[in-house]
Structure 1
Amino acid sequence: MLLRLKRFLIGRPMKSHELGDEKLSKLKALAILSSDALSSVAYGTEQILIVLITLGFAALWYSIPISIAVLALLTILVLSYRQTIFSYPTGGGAYIVAKDNLGVRTGLVAGGSLLVDYILTVAVSTSAATDAVTSAFPNLHPYRIEIALVMILFLTIMNLRGITESAQVLAYPVYLFVAGIFLMIIVGLFRVATGDVQATPAEFGLDVSGISLFLLLKAFSSGCSALTGVEAVSNAIPSFKAPSEKNAASTLALMGIILGSMFLGISLLAYFYGISPMKDVTVVSQIAEAAFGRGPIYFFIQGTTALILFLAANTAYAAFPLLAFMLAKDKFMPHAFMIRGDRLGFSNGIIVLGLLAGVLAIVSNGYTENLIPLYAIGVFIPFTLSQLGMMRRWYRLKPQGWLIRFLVNGVGMVTTLSITLIFLFTKFSQVWMVFIFLPVVYVMFQQIHRHYMAVADELRIDLATDKPEAKGNTIVIPVAGITRVVMNTISYAKSMTDNVIAVYIGFDDEDIEKMEKKWEEWDCGVRLIVLRSRYRSIIKPLVKFIETVEWKNSETGHITILIPQFIPKHWWQNILHNQTSLLIRYYLFKYKDVTISTVPYHLNK
């Protein structure tokens, strides 16, 4: 039943040679990898206005120069990451760049920041999508957590089905959103140009009392949340069709043009329409209502906005498993993240991302506004390290035209470092957790790597001198009675060695005497050792006996514990039987010279 459900949700298993068919074209990649960046226009302008409105409506005109500054930063980042794409076509983004040029430790900081950021991306995006839905349908507001969890579950299943299939389904909402926003910008600006706007915007250039550099920097850093997701394309270069680096660079440039146009357009409309941030209604919702009224086009824009915010999380689903794979390949994350699933995706990374994002959505009660600064700084730390790494690369290699490339990355590094510091100083109360989770993640990486290296060192053999040795083998079979299950196990044991011992643990004299008589009558050719358990425990007497046998055989041979176990016909029937074999295995695993094996006997009824 579980297998049929899996096939229904995930689809048929794919052969390894079909991996080439899972590569993305530029149009599909734009939808999958740019959804996070494109969706940020839905709240980027709003984050700027939320800061400025603290000084009153008159201060909202500052949103225009701040938006232009954000646009300039976007241009720098796009140019910088294009250079990264051509320099590191194998993908990995900031982690690979920092590790290669600044050292493993710096690379781990970049990689850890991105992993946490991708988890935040899913939680923030689905919660933002929930806000868009509840703005249009206020009655759904009490169910925001449930809505967010359903969204996360849907995205997890879609990505488990494979990147190509998810791209085919998820591309349509992305392009519908882009079309809807551009329609809103065109119609909105046309109405402004024709004077068909009733609102009075804040006076542009007015000197506002109380304005300060600190507040302007805080608003600018808030607007920079619109730049999250720009790095995703450089992380996922292997997912593109050949020539992968050229297609990735083209996709990044197109994403930058679309993102910049939409962000600036929304900021202009918010200013001209005199929009102020409201608690339960988004800025995009207010602009759409002002431009079209509360009619079909308004609901179309709200619906596509909710979809793109929801699909923004899909960028993380594309990037998180790839980054986890690279870290696992370098032995800094569990090797399970290197395994491809039935649909050729890194299924374990997809599932872990969905689970962690779901937990975060529940813990935050669906309100993740306070996580946006943390979410943004989780991107700008890798941004900065990536730019610094590229600067060192150009300086070290000095290829033709390296100075211009060095300057491009230098401007990018200084800018992103400044943004990171602005976040730290202006929003420390919201981003202080970065000083906890980054060291924790870094230590986790180091512990995992230390374990893998220790295991490899201990398991390594010298091919010239280390040879397997033949030793004797004592097989111990715990028995609870004389049954076909026990007979099957003894038959298997005697096929390997004549040194077989059956062990029975009795609780009272009557049971022990009865078992000894039946065993003697059966005469199976195997010696029975009876142990008395005064406290009705099977494990303790058996463990004590094994320790005795282990000590006697420590130099001369192996000890094998064969556990008889019958397998019911239906899975639910396991509930009806004791799971003593599981307890025995659990307690005996710690003995290094003891081999534990289960001999199954399958029931037919």
Structure 2
Amino acid sequence: MISSIKRFFIGHPLKSTELGEQKLNKKKALAILSSDALSSVAYGPEQILIVLVTIGAAAFWYSIPIAIGVLILLAALILSYQQIIYAYPHGGGAYVVSKNNLGINPGLIAGGSLLVDYILTVAVSVSAGTDALTSAFPILRAHTVAIAILFVLFITVLNLRGIRESASILAYPVYLFVVAIFILIGVGLYNIVTGQVPAELHTPIGAPVAGISLFLLLRAFASGSSALTGVEAISNAIPNFKDPAPNNAAKTLMAMGILLALLFSGIVFLAYYYGISPRGDVTVVSQIAEKTFGRNFMYYFIQGTTALILTLAANTGYSAFPLLAVNLANDKFIPRMFTIRGDRLGYSNGIMALGFASIVLIIAFKGQTGHLIPLYAVGVFIPFTLSQTGMMVKWMREKPQGWLSKFIINTTGALISFIVMSIFFLTKFTQVWPVLIFLPLIILTFHRIHKHYLAVADQLRVSPSEPTMPIEGNVIIIPVAGITRVVENSLNYAKSLSAKNIIAVYVSFDREDEKRFDEKWANWNTGIRLVTLLSLHRSLILPLTKFIDTIEHKANESNHQVTVLIPEFIPKKGWHNILHNQSSLLIRAYLLYRRNVVITTVPYHLKK
């Protein structure tokens, strides 16, 4: 039944030879890897206005120069990440660049930041999508968290079905959103040009504003830079592209940068010209759409596509998180299970881990996007800064042809990214301080995991200089609970392994029972020695383990191996297990960590 449910949701397994068919072309890659960046135009401009509104509506004209600053940063990042794509065509992005050029710890800081950032990508995107939905349908506002969780589960299942299938489905809403926003911007600009929008709605650019300060402008610039989250995802996911992967990835990155610049600048300008003020219950895009079209079909079309892309922008995290996890796992910094492909050839463990962590975050923050965005954005600019700095070191060390221009591009990107990151810490410290706690904890966890893997490898390595001691024989101990077919099956199996050194052990809770069982065993005439142990405190494990310890000590002196054969009957139906004492399971669990004892279960399957 479980298998049938899995097949229904996930689909039938794919052959390993079909992996090449799962690669993405540029159109599909643009949809699923750029959805995070493109969707940020729905909340990036709003974040600028949220800061400026503390001074008043007169300060809204500052959103124009701030937006220009964000676009300059975008251009620097696009050019920088194009160079990373060609320099590191196997993917890995900021983690690989930082690790190879700056060292292990900077690489882990970048990798850890991105892992957390992709979790935040899902949480922020889904929460923002839910906000857009509840803006159009206020009756749903009371169910924000539940709706967000359902969205996460849907996207998780979709990605478990495979990257090609998820891309085929998600491409449509992403491109619909792009078309919808272009229509909104086009109609809005037409209304402005034709004089349908009163000029008095906005303050003229350059008008003096009382109370404005550099600190506040920097804070607004940092908030607006949240629109650049997701720019690095393409450099992490190069292996998902069809060949030639680096060329396709670079072209997709450039297309994403152009679209993001046009959409972001259009929304910022319309919000300024319409005099839109941010509100807690209605998004800025919703207000622009209502002023442009009214509450008609186009309004709901824009709100619907916005909600869709904000929700499905989470798919960028699902595309990049598993690949980054693979790189970290291959370097032995996170569990090896993240390197395993699932039935549909995707890294399903990474996908499920991302979905679970995102749901936890949504519940913890109660689906409030505004609380998540600052933490989300600062987590992006840390790897931005490290990756650009790493590329600077690479060019200086290698000095290939034309390295100086590349060095200048990466230096510009590193400098601006560092400034934005610093502004976040200075202006939003009360919201981003958790980064200073969880990031060191993540790095410490990485090192502890790495230390464990190194220790395991050292102990498992076969060395001619350390020959193992030969096993001279075997002492088999069989715990028995009575004279049954289960026990008989185990005794016969033990005899097939060794004709001697077989000991049956029975634990009795009183003298009369001990005497009765001794007589029954003698009458059964198995030819196997029986040892009865009296347990006055009704403990099965304690006397048994003491006996095993005694035998183990004697066996080690003669290079004999102690093997405990545990008889166990298997009911025909799984639910029957709850009707029986799980003594064999208890014994096995207790003895499993005995260093010099082999634990073997001998099953006896019941037929009815």
TM-score range, shorter chain: over 0.9
Q: How does 1:83-482 map to 2 (within 5 A)?
A: 83-198=83-198, 200-463=201-464, 466=467, 469-482=470-483
What residue number does 2:596 align with? 593
Distance (whole Å) between structure 2 residues aligned to residue 234 and residue 449 of structure 1: 25
2:157 match: secondary structure: helix
Cα deviation, residue 82, structure 1: 0.2
What residue number does 2:586 align with? 583
Question: Residue type matched to 1:179 in 2?
Answer: V
Moved more, 595-604 or 18-27: 595-604
Tell me whether 1:511 sits opposite 2:513 in the alignment.
Answer: yes
What residue number does 1:47 align with? 47
Count of residue correspondences: 605
Distance (whole Å) between structure 2 residues aligned to residue 80 and residue 12 of structure 1: 40
Cα deviation, residue 581, structure 1: 2.0
2:334 match: secondary structure: coil
Give the 3 Å change call, closer, same or farther, for CA 328–306 of structure 1 in structure 2: same
Moved more, 462-471 or 404-413: 462-471
What residue number does 1:554 align with? 556
Distance (whole Å) between structure 2 residues aligned to residue 569 and residue 478 of structure 1: 23
1:202 match: secondary structure: coil
Q: 2:527 aligns with which of 499, 508, 525?
A: 525
1:238 match: secondary structure: helix
- 1:170-215 deviation digits (Å, cap 9, x = unpaired): 1111111111111111111111111112471122211100000000
Cα deviation, residue 246, structure 1: 0.2
Distance (whole Å) between structure 2 residues aligned to residue 17 and residue 413 of structure 1: 41
Distance (whole Å) between structure 2 residues aligned to residue 25 and residue 32 of structure 1: 11
Q: Is the 8 A contact 1:120 1:357 kept in 2?
A: yes
Distance (whole Å) between structure 1 residues aligned to residue 161 and residue 575 of structure 2: 28
Distance (whole Å) between structure 2 residues aligned to residue 471 and residue 44 of structure 1: 73
What residue number does 1:602 align with? 605
- 1:224-244 deviation digits (Å, cap 9, x = unpaired): 000000000000001100000
What residue number does 1:71 align with? 71
- 1:232-260 deviation digits (Å, cap 9, x = unpaired): 00000011000000000000000000111
What residue number does 1:500 align with? 502
1:476 match: secondary structure: strand
Q: Is the 8 A contact 2:61 2:204 kept in 1?
A: yes
Question: Residue type matched to 1:540 in 2?
Answer: L
Distance (whole Å) between structure 2 residues aligned to residue 561 and residue 307 of structure 1: 59
Cα deviation, residue 530, structure 1: 0.9
Q: Is the 8 A contact 2:365 2:371 kept in 1?
A: no
Moved more, 45-54 or 584-593: 584-593
- 1:440-470 deviation digits (Å, cap 9, x = unpaired): 0000000000111011111112247636723
Moved more, 553-562 or 28-37: 553-562
Cα deviation, residue 515, structure 1: 2.0
Cα deviation, residue 597, structure 1: 1.6
1:549 match: secondary structure: helix
Cα deviation, residue 347, structure 1: 0.9
- 1:521-575 deviation digits (Å, cap 9, x = unpaired): 2222221111111121111111111111111112321111111112222222222
Identity %, equivalent residues? 62
Distance (whole Å) between structure 1 residues aligned to residue 319 and residue 485 of structure 2: 52
Distance (whole Å) between structure 2 residues aligned to residue 358 and residue 599 of structure 1: 42
Question: Residue type matched to 1:329 in 2?
Answer: N
Question: Residue type matched to 1:447 in 2?
Answer: R
Q: Gaps spanning 5+ residues in structure 2: where?
A: none
TM-score calculated relative to the size of structure 2 = 0.98
Q: Is the 8 A contact 1:361 1:368 kept in 2?
A: no
Q: Is the 8 A contact 2:479 2:504 kept in 1?
A: yes
Distance (whole Å) between structure 2 residues aligned to residue 104 and residue 208 of structure 1: 48
Q: Gaps spanning 5+ residues in structure 1: where?
A: none
Distance (whole Å) between structure 2 residues aligned to residue 603 and residue 223 of structure 1: 67
Distance (whole Å) between structure 1 residues aligned to residue 526 and residue 177 of structure 2: 76
Q: 1:571 aligns with which of 564, 571, 574?
A: 574
Distance (whole Å) between structure 2 residues aligned to residue 471 and residue 127 of structure 1: 65
Question: Residue type matched to 2:13 in 1?
Answer: P
Q: Is the 8 A contact 2:136 2:300 kept in 1?
A: yes
- 1:261-292 deviation digits (Å, cap 9, x = unpaired): 00000001101111000011000000111111
Distance (whole Å) between structure 1 residues aligned to residue 7 and residue 524 of structure 2: 48
What residue number does 2:13 align with? 13
Distance (whole Å) between structure 1 residues aligned to residue 472 and residue 369 of structure 2: 62
Distance (whole Å) between structure 1 residues aligned to residue 165 and residue 469 of structure 2: 49
2:367 match: secondary structure: coil
Moved more, 226-235 or 116-125: 116-125
1:573 match: secondary structure: helix
Cα deviation, residue 388, structure 1: 0.4
1:529 match: secondary structure: strand
Moved more, 48-57 or 191-200: 191-200
Question: Residue type matched to 1:536 in 2?
Answer: R
Distance (whole Å) between structure 1 residues aligned to residue 136 and residue 553 of structure 2: 73
Cα deviation, residue 369, structure 1: 1.4
1:278 match: secondary structure: coil
Distance (whole Å) between structure 1 residues aligned to residue 544 and residue 159 of structure 2: 48
Q: Is the 8 A contact 1:173 1:307 kept in 2?
A: yes
Cα deviation, residue 508, structure 1: 2.0
Distance (whole Å) between structure 1 residues aligned to residue 514 and residue 143 of structure 2: 62
What residue number does 1:487 align with? 488
Distance (whole Å) between structure 1 residues aligned to residue 431 and residue 136 of structure 2: 29
Question: Residue type matched to 2:12 in 1?
Answer: R
- 1:467-514 deviation digits (Å, cap 9, x = unpaired): 672331111111111222211212111111122111111112333233
* Aligned-residue CA RMSD (Å): 1.2
Tell me whether 1:56 sits opposite 2:59 in the alignment.
Answer: no
Q: Is the 8 A contact 2:127 2:362 kept in 1?
A: yes
Q: Is the 8 A contact 1:33 1:318 kept in 2?
A: yes
Q: Is the 8 A contact 1:380 1:419 kept in 2?
A: yes
